[in-house]
Amino acid sequence: MMETAALSPGCGVEVKGVSLAEAQGERLDAIRDLIYRHGVAVFRDQSVSPEEHIAFANRWGGIDINNYFPLTDEHPEIAVVRKTEDQTTNIGGGWHTDHSYDQVPAMGSILVARTLPPAGGDTLWAHMGAAYESLPDEMKTKLEGLEAFHTADHIYAPDGLYAQTDQGTALRGQELKTGATHPVVIRHPQTGQKLLYVNPGFTMHFTGMTREESLPLLQELFAHAMKPQHQCRVEWKPGTVAIWDNRTTWHYAMNDYQGHAREMHRITLSGEALAA
Ligand SMILES: O=C(O)CCC(=O)C(=O)O
Ligand SMILES: [Fe+2]
């Protein structure tokens, strides 16, 4: 029997009674729907080998190969999100939406915990449907028809954010150029829910405005979206798997476990173009 419990009133769901390694058919469709609506689903006590991780992702749909993260030697489909005990910078340690810099952004990811610190290293998600819904009506009106430009170049380029940290050498794809324009408010491709689709990691400016002109409104939206009531938090345990929807959520990987290693296996799921 599949059972569910909300992680917080605004975001996330824990799913019990499911073995992801075996989930398919109607069971998989039910899981899919939960993730589209709640933004992120957490599954505990899973036993998922790299092969089963890939097989599940293929049953879900297409796999996107991330351009930046190191890949496992045996399985190029699996990206490694790693912080060694000697590194001080982590991956994803700020609010962001993966792949918003792609014109056809990845739908989401399946993250499997492989090595965990003794404490800390939680991941936070924030629900952009809840964030949109709680905006004042005047703001909703103001956002109608607005589009924004997203890129990852300031993060991953040779003079980007990570290059200045001890994560720099582990990353690939520094020569890539990215850029995409999306509506500021999108409709979820499957549920039709209205979602705020700008994020502090990759959204640079509104179309037709400079960065400087855009920043006051962007920062107002970011501050609103990251309010605690839109968030949920996942404490990883051995066997924990999280699957999230990039359209519905932002996420943030806590970097509060200095001196300890943390390693996650990530498969990125393909998505579709986004529309208002
Ligand atoms: O390590 C995590 O919890 C998430 C890191 C991240 O941002 C990602 O895998 O996209
Ligand atoms: Fe991320």
**Residue 96 has which token pair?**
């962001």
Q: Which residues, including other chains, have CB under 8 Å from residue 2's CB and lie 6 or more apart?
A: 15, 16, 17, 18, 27, 30
Known active-site residue 251: yes
* Residue 121 covered by a domain: yes
Q: Is 262 a catalytic residue?
A: no
Q: Are strands 40-43 and 13-16 parallel, antiparallel or unpaired?
A: parallel
Does the residue 15 lie in any domain? yes
Q: Looking at residue 72, what is its pLDDT? A: 84
Measure the CA–CA gap between 232 and 39, rounded to whole angstroms. 10
Examine residue 276 and state whether it is found in any structural domain, yes or no. no
- Note whether 200 and 94 are within 8 A (CB): yes
- Note the pTM of the prediction, 2 decimals: 0.97
- pLDDT the model gives residue 203: 98
User: What are the angstrom distances between the C-alpha of 111 and each of 92, 182, 234, 250?
Assistant: 13, 25, 12, 15
Residue 98 Cβ contacting ligand 1 at under 6 Å: yes
Q: Please state the atom number of ligand 1 nearest to the C-alpha of residue 98.
A: 10
Asked if 125 and 231 count as a contact pair (C-beta separation under 8 A), the reply is yes
Residue 163's domain is classified under what CATH number?
3.60.130.10
By the 8 A CB rule, do 3 and 19 touch?
Answer: no
Which of 84, 6, 77 is CA-nearest to residue 42?
A: 6
Q: Residue 259 region, left (φ>0) first, then alpha (ψ -120 to 50), else beta?
A: left
How far apart, in whole angstroms, are the C-alpha atoms of residue 157 and residue 173?
A: 8
Is residue 131 within 8 A of residue 158, CB to CB? The reply is no
What is the pLDDT at residue 11?
A: 98
Residue 123 C-alpha from the chain's centroid: 10
| Phi/psi of residue 110, nearest 5 degrees | -115, 110
14 CB within 6 A, ligand 1 = no
Q: Print pLDDT tens along the chain (276 aa).
A: 899 999 999 999 999 999 999 999 999 999 999 999 999 999 999 999 999 999 999 999 999 998 888 888 899 999 999 999 999 999 999 999 999 999 999 999 999 999 999 999 999 999 999 999 999 999 999 999 999 999 999 888 888 888 889 888 888 888 889 999 999 999 999 999 999 999 999 999 999 999 999 999 999 999 999 999 999 999 999 999 999 999 999 999 999 999 999 999 999 999 999 999
Chain mean position to CA 19: 22
264 lines ligand 1 (CB under 6 A): yes
Residue nearest to atom 1 of ligand 1 (CA): 253
Residue 148 domain flag: yes
d(CA 54, CA 123): 22
Ligand 2 midpoint to CA 137 (Å):
30
State the ligand closest to the CA atom of 111. Answer: 1
Q: Which pLDDT score, from 0 to 100, does residue 158 have?
A: 86
- Judge whether 32 lies within some domain: yes
Which has the closest alpha carbon to 36: 188, 166, 224?
Answer: 188
252 Cα–ligand 2 center, Å? 7
Domain span at residue 74 reads: 3-269
Closest to 92 in 3D by CA, of 257, 253, 263? 253
- Per the structure, the count of domains in the chain is 1
In a domain, 274, yes or no: no
Rounded distance from Cα 15 to ligand 1 centre (Å): 20
The pair phi, psi for residue 30, each rounded to 5°, is -65, -40
Would residue 123 count as lying in a domain?
A: yes
Strands 180-183 and 231-234, how do they pair? unpaired
In a domain, 183, yes or no: yes
Q: Is the CB of 92 under 6 A from ligand 1?
A: yes
In three-state secondary structure terms, 210 is: coil
